[in-house]
Amino acid sequence: MGYLDGFKITFGKLFEERVTTEYPKEKREKPDRFHGRHVLNRYEDGMEKCIGCELCAGVCPAKCIYVRGADNPEEAPVSPGERYGFVYEINYLRCIHCDLCVEACPTEAITESKLFEFSFDNRSDAIYTKDELVVDDQGLPQKQPWELWHVGDDLKTSGWMRATASSGNPAYENRVGWSGELGYGVREPERGQQFDESEPQNLDGKDDQD
């Protein structure tokens, strides 16, 4: 057929499913563990999970997080316990979305959403403050004027994206080891990497002998 071979491919592709999308009018589904911008979660009773321990800032390889703790006011506590996150800022000009902050957080206060489309036009907008990061009363992220959101984007916010199980022990995978979240309650565990439907779950981490 010679030169017509190329047209055959073109013609054939006309009837295949289209892989390109009309971005930004439509967006593709994001993978479960997609790393977007952060949210600061709250407990079901509305208390902030962040205790201002600075572990996220300490582990951050891009040094984009600035946290300061303060004494929790006794009459109107911000978080349970002695200490709360008084200042929380993330500079998205520096953040590389590596998620180490999420790994380091001892209270699951910081998680990442699927939101990543920012079009801020100045540097101070790029520094998200605590007021901008903390979830609203429904447990959903707050939309900033420069963020591109479609309906439903904000629903896929945190989810459990810890890459490792506690102590790195795979036996703990799929076990709920986290507290409830405002607007969602206790989230179902995500499918683990070694998850296999055919095998019975070993949730106690003990040897299967009985």
Partner 1 sequence: MPDSQPNAVSVTINGTQIEAEAGELVIAAADRNGVHIPRFCYHERMSSVGMCRMCLVEVDTGRGPMLQPSCMISVTDGMIVDTESDQTKRAQEGILEFLLINHPLDCPVCDKGGECPLQDQTVAYGPGESRFIEEKRHYEKPIPISDLVHLDRERCILCDRCTRFADEVAGDPLIQFTERGNETQVLTFPNEPFSSYFSGNTVQICPVGALTAAPYRFKARPWDLEQVESTCTTCSVGCRVAVQSSRNELVRYLGVDIDPVNHGWLCDKGRFDFEAIKSPNRLETPLIRDPNDKDQLIETTWGAALAASADAIKEARSGKIGVIGGSRLTNEDAYAWAKLAGSVIGTNNVDAQLGDGLPGKVVLGLPGATIDEACSADTVLVIGPDLKEELPILHLRLRGAAKKKKVKVVEITPLQTGVSSYAHRSIVCRSGEAAKTLKSLLTSDDELSQEIRSGSVVVILGRSSLAESALPAIEVASVITEELPKAKFLVALRRGNVRGAIDMGLSPGLLPGRVPLENPNDEIKKIWAKVPTVEGLDTAGMLRAAADGQLDVLILVGADPLVDFPDQDLANRGLRGAKFVVAIDNFPTLSVANADVVLPATAYGEKGGTTTNIEGRVSRLAQLVTSPSAARDDWMIASELAWRLGGDLKFSSMEEIWSEIEQVAPSHNGITLEKIWADETRDGILITETSIQLAIEPSGETPVVDGYGLRLISGRKLYDAGTQTSNCASLSALAQDAELRVNPTELERLGIQDGSEVTIISTKATGVAIAIADESIPRGTAVLPFNNPGIRANLFINSELPVTDIRIETR
Contacts to partner 1 by CB under 8 A: 51-55, 57-58, 68-71, 81-83, 106-107, 167
How many helical (H) and strand (E) elements, i.e. helices and strands, does the chain have?
Answer: 5, 5
Report the residue number, 104 or 140, with the smaller CB distance to partner 1: 104
Least spacing, CB of residue 167 vs partner 1, in Å: 8
**Cα dihedral across residues 75, 43, 58, 122: positive or negative:** negative
Distance CA 66, CA 50 (A): 13
Least spacing, CB of residue 69 vs partner 1, in Å: 4
Residue 55's CB: how many other CB atoms inside 10 A? 19
Report the residue number, 36 or 69, with the smaller CB distance to partner 1: 69
Question: Would you say 168 and 134 are in contact if contact means Cβ atoms under 8 Å apart?
Answer: no
Least spacing, CB of residue 123 vs partner 1, in Å: 19
Q: List the alpha helices (DSSP H) in 65-129.
A: 100-104, 123-126
Report the residue number, 57 or 165, with the smaller CB distance to partner 1: 57
Least spacing, CB of residue 113 vs partner 1, in Å: 23
Report the residue number, 6 or 81, with the smaller CB distance to partner 1: 81
Question: Would you say 164 and 103 are in contact if contact means Cβ atoms under 8 Å apart?
Answer: yes
